[in-house]
Amino acid sequence: MGVIERKEREREEMRQRIMNAARHLFLEQGFEKTSIRGIAEAIEYSPATIYLYYKDKNELLFALHEEAFLKMMAELSKVAAVKDPFERLIEMGNQYIKYALENPELYDLMFIMTAPMETLACRDEIWEDGMKSFCLLQAVVGQCVEAGYFEHDLDIETASLTIWSYMHGLVTIYLKNRMNMFGDDKQVERMSASYTLFIEMIRKGLKE
Amino acid sequence: MGVIERKEREREEMRQRIMNAARHLFLEQGFEKTSIRGIAEAIEYSPATIYLYYKDKNELLFALHEEAFLKMMAELSKVAAVKDPFERLIEMGNQYIKYALENPELYDLMFIMTAPMETLACRDEIWEDGMKSFCLLQAVVGQCVEAGYFEHDLDIETASLTIWSYMHGLVTIYLKNRMNMFGDDKQVERMSASYTLFIEMIRKGLKE
DNA sequence: CAAATATACTGAACAGTGTTTAGTGAAAAC
DNA sequence: GTTTTCACTAAACACTGTTCAGTATATTTG
């Protein structure tokens, strides 16, 4: 009897329906204004039903957070097409900035909000999505070492953390409106100028 | 008749009483768990009273945000004692990291939360506190140029933004628990290692 | 096929949130 | 002494995440 298989399938469909509504509302009106009740209304079910499919709001956010990582990893992986390792690193940074600016809410979910991380904490699991994308960066940094762009005894993990820190800092300063202290509309230009300087800094600063 | 003077004084006292309670609860139990009702209870007044002294919660957060900047600026200004400009820059970074790790909630308020910034936006004012502390950094970077540590035609604003981005990125990755992806308890060591590398990067990467 | 069981779902409630408003009691002004 | 002003509050409004008893339907069992 395929009844339990069908039930399992129906369950997965419902989870998808909830996720679709959540993603939609989340991207449309931001996290702060998206409520369980709102999601419930969108799928025409009672708010309580959502709790039959997701433990709490954090788990729902965590699921969205995972989706967002798949999306970003897909974007970042495209840089494999760039032959030269250092050029590849530069392009990876560009893609990272592009993703952050085009998906500010998702970026928040992935790297700033603590709520989705609590789901991880209470299951005491490690943050695999973060680690996977960090490994993508580490790989390219490693290739830059191999190609002789960076000194051969460079600590790849430390260097990658340093590069990521810079990238993350730059985009969050912008996304969290801290760059409007300059009082003009040249914020994106400032980011570009900074990124260009940073590239020169690592080119000169990490070489043999 | 000194009655209006007394009233003004009493008003300021009340504002201080509210701020003290807000600061206390905020630092004790974090932003998320601090409510207007909680603050009201702490000062033994009705929640509605708070709205006679502060427009809304954002304005209260903004006032705390200003306090936090005064505190940080005091810490950062201490580096003036360091004679050598480049050593001064290094020490400024250390102080910045120290402040962030010792005051995570305040750091959030100052550089991550958008709520206090909305008070600025609806008054359409500029973010002066941010600009002032950025100028502190710019000054030291400028002194590094003068002392010959950095190339003479360096764009000081861009270089400062780049340095701040790195510092901000590093501490927020840590504060927002994204460094537990490494799955060990060497998070602070990793930060130190990264900061050391970054210093060498700017020493070599920005020099003449 | 009928009775018993399992399952999916919901209405209503709980305990909280920020904020507004009508109304009260005391102090200040006349 | 009367009127006005002003600080203050109780209560309500419109929300929030979450839980739980109860129901209606689908499935399994006798």
Same-domain check for residues A142 and A192: yes
Of A9, A37, A54, the last residue of a domain is A54
Same-domain check for residues B60 and B50: no
The per-residue pLDDT for range A27-47, each reduced to its tens digit, is: 999 998 999 999 999 999 999
Of B54, B75, B90, the last residue of a domain is B54
User: Residue B9 is part of a domain; what is its CATH number?
Assistant: 1.10.10.60
Same-domain check for residues B98 and B201: yes
Same-domain check for residues B72 and B7: no
Same-domain check for residues A15 and A109: no
Reported confidence tier of residue A77, pLDDT bands at 50, 70, 90: very high
Does residue B114 contact residue A177 with C-beta atoms inside 8 Å? yes
Of A54, A73, A98, the last residue of a domain is A54
Q: What is the pLDDT along chain B (208 residues), one digit of tens a residue?
A: 577 888 889 999 999 999 999 999 999 999 989 999 999 999 999 999 999 999 999 999 999 999 999 999 999 999 999 999 999 999 999 999 999 999 999 999 999 999 999 999 989 899 999 999 999 999 999 999 999 999 999 999 999 999 999 999 999 999 999 999 999 999 999 999 999 999 999 999 999 7
**What is the predicted pLDDT for the residue at B201?**
97
Average pLDDT over residues A175-200: 97
CA of A73 to C1' of D3 (A): 73
Q: How many CB atoms within 10 Å of residue A191?
A: 20
Q: Is the CB of B23 under 7 A from strand C?
A: no
Same-domain check for residues A163 and A82: yes
Same-domain check for residues B42 and B142: no
**Number of structural domains chain A divides into:** 2
The per-residue pLDDT for range A142-171, each reduced to its tens digit, is: 999 999 999 999 999 999 999 999 999 999
Same-domain check for residues B78 and B43: no
**What is the predicted pLDDT for the residue at B3?**
74
Tokens of A81: 């097409």
Same-domain check for residues A138 and A84: yes
Comparing CB atoms, the residue among B159, B172, B183 nearest residue A172 is B172
Same-domain check for residues B143 and B183: yes
Is pLDDT at A208 greater than 90 in this prediction?
Answer: no
Does residue A92 contact residue A79 with C-beta atoms inside 8 Å? yes
Question: Where in the sequence is the domain holding A37, given as residue range(s)?
Answer: 1-54
Chain A residues 36-65 with Cβ under 7 Å of strand C are 44-49, 52
Locate the DSSP E strands across chain B.
Answer: none
CA of B49 to C1' of C28 (A): 21
- Whether chain A has a CB inside 8 Å of the CB on B208: the answer is no
Same-domain check for residues B73 and B28: no
Rounded to 5°, the CA angle A192-B193-B75 comes to 75
**Pairwise CA distance, residues B116 & B67, whole Å:** 12
User: Residue B101 is part of a domain; what is its CATH number?
Assistant: 1.10.357.10
Does residue B149 contact residue B203 with C-beta atoms inside 8 Å? yes
**What is the predicted pLDDT for the residue at A1?**
57
Is pLDDT at A97 greater than 60 in this prediction?
Answer: yes
- Whether chain A has a CB inside 8 Å of the CB on B164: the answer is yes
**Pairwise CA distance, residues B89 & B112, whole Å:** 23
Comparing CB atoms, the residue among A111, A193, A205 nearest residue B202 is A205
Distance of CA A178 to the CA centre of its chain: 20
| CA closest to B201 among chain A residues | A205
Same-domain check for residues A101 and A128: yes
| CA closest to B154 among chain A residues | A197
Comparing CB atoms, the residue among A113, A177, A206 nearest residue B117 is A177
Average pLDDT over residues A67-86: 98
